[in-house]
Amino acid sequence: MMMDYHFKNFSKRVKKMKFELSDLLKQLPEQFFASLVKKVNEKIAAGHDVINLGQGNPDQPTPGHIVDAMTEAVRNPENHKYSSFRGSRSLKQAAAEFYKREYGVLLDPDKEIAVLFGGKAGLVELPQCLLNPGDTVLVPDPGYPDYWSGVRLAKANMETMPLLEKNGYLPDYSQIPVHIKEKAKLMYLNYPNNPTGAQATPAFFAETVSLAKTHGICVVHDFAYGAIGYDGQKPVSFLETDGAKEAGIEIYTLSKTYNMAGWRVGFAAGNASVIEALNLYQDHMYVSLFKAVQDAAAVALLSDQSCVKEQNERYEKRRNVWMKAVRAIGWEAQAPEGSFFAWMPVPEGFTSEGFSDFLLEKAHVVMAPGKGFGAFGEGYVRVGLLTSEERLREAADRIAELNIFKKSEVSH
């Protein structure tokens, strides 16, 4: 009791200290989706049945054979030590074999592959590896918001490349002013695209390599959804393009391909100088990934890929169910060609955030407002096809009851 008394007395006398954030952290972009998550959680806490289509988190478990490989690797005492600074050679070799098998691309495991703490880490690190304050980065709009974070951390300048439906959501390089192309040192691309679901073409990537070589731009292709393509279209790897390895790198994550989002493992592949820069940066930040995770990741890349095929078929069925259901209620949109997202136009009279709030409030359906992906995302919402076909139909039925679309004669 005496101790409790003294502790309470002491705590009253101690002034609570609060330390100010650095200017660098203050300049980071606001996490737009934090407010959406808060609204969703409030609805769930109030007891509502919320259908969450606003997330990008895979809803299926990691395949059993990968989990088994991880379990075995965890039991190996050798894996309890610090792992090699630049990642295990076995994982880098597996990544090289994966690219040769899937895309016909030859990579040197030692010089052209860097192990990453998930794809996001590499995407955010790269501007700090290659840029100086004031340098220019080309970024897709709409696009993955964490590109902006990397640019801000490097104190670089961002120039946006509009992704328009009329151009198949590919940037039109002819519309970028010459002086911007000359200043640019880095460019982000992402196909299959988040949030639009568009795919790139070999011709587009060939044009990209030409642009990069002409203006000395390093291309960073975010290939997070590389395993998810529809209607028989296998997504194209940037590295398949002649000259791509000289022009930049591709970042591959196991998060979506193998439902390993929480495992935080991926790799960068391509230009040796960029790979060395990433490795050097990570030498100072980390002592590489837990070796057991790397061992399991190697098994995922090299073992039978039927789980990947089955998952792609699952997402394609969900896409078809969703598009049929929304078209039946009069909500027309272009079906995604890849990724597990659908990019839907908001009805007249709504902003993207206003429509997202309206659906949450009136239908208890969550969709991500397009504004959160950039200025050219305004007028759209992103739908994550990460729930069952039944729940996707139910979401469309709930929206139909709001009578904001003119129903089609087609039944679902």
Query: In this structure, are 284 and 311 located in the same domain?
Result: no
Q: Is there a contact between 250 and 239 (Cβ–Cβ < 8 Å)?
A: yes
Max Cα-Cα span within the chain: 78
Query: In this structure, are 144 and 44 located in the same domain?
Result: no
Query: In this structure, are 233 and 293 located in the same domain?
Result: yes
Q: Which range marks the domain in which residue 312 is found?
A: 12-61+307-400
Query: In this structure, are 156 and 201 located in the same domain?
Result: yes
Which pLDDT score, from 0 to 100, does residue 302 have? 98
Query: In this structure, are 257 and 385 located in the same domain?
Result: no
pLDDT tens-place string over residues 221-280: 999 999 999 999 999 999 999 999 999 999 999 999 999 999 999 999 999 999 999 999
DSSP conformation class of 62: P
Q: Would you call the peptide bond into 77 cis, given omega within 30 degrees of 0 as the criterion?
A: no
Per the domain annotation, does 284 fall within a domain?
yes
Give CA–CA dist 202/237, Å, rounded.
Answer: 9
Alpha-carbon Rg for the chain, nearest whole angstrom, is: 23
Which pLDDT score, from 0 to 100, does residue 53 have? 95
Query: In this structure, are 37 and 182 located in the same domain?
Result: no
Closest CA to 28 of 117, 141, 137, 147: 147
Query: In this structure, are 269 and 369 located in the same domain?
Result: no
Query: In this structure, are 313 and 292 located in the same domain?
Result: no
Task: Assign residue 288 the CATH number of its domain.
Answer: 3.40.640.10
Residue ranges of the chain with pLDDT lower than 70? 1-15, 408-412
Which pLDDT score, from 0 to 100, does residue 182 have? 96
Q: How many CB atoms lie within 10 A of CB 370?
A: 27
Per the domain annotation, does 205 fall within a domain?
yes
Residue that is last in its domain, among 247, 278, 302: 302
Which pLDDT score, from 0 to 100, does residue 12 have? 59
Tokens 């820069």 map to which residue?
Answer: 277
Which pLDDT score, from 0 to 100, does residue 406 have? 79
Residue that is last in its domain, among 302, 319, 351: 302
Per the domain annotation, does 276 fall within a domain?
yes
Domains in the chain, number? 2
Q: Is there a contact between 153 and 29 (Cβ–Cβ < 8 Å)?
A: no
Which pLDDT score, from 0 to 100, does residue 412 have? 42
Q: State the alpha helices, DSSP H only, in 144-223.
A: 146-153, 178-183, 202-215
What percent of the chain is modeled with pLDDT above 90? Answer: 86
Query: In this structure, are 105 and 167 located in the same domain?
Result: yes
Start-to-end C-alpha separation, the chain: 69
Q: Which helix (H) or strand (E) holds 292?
A: helix 291-302
Q: Which CA distances in Å does 247 have to 200, 213, 395?
A: 17, 6, 44
Residue that is last in its domain, among 302, 337, 364: 302
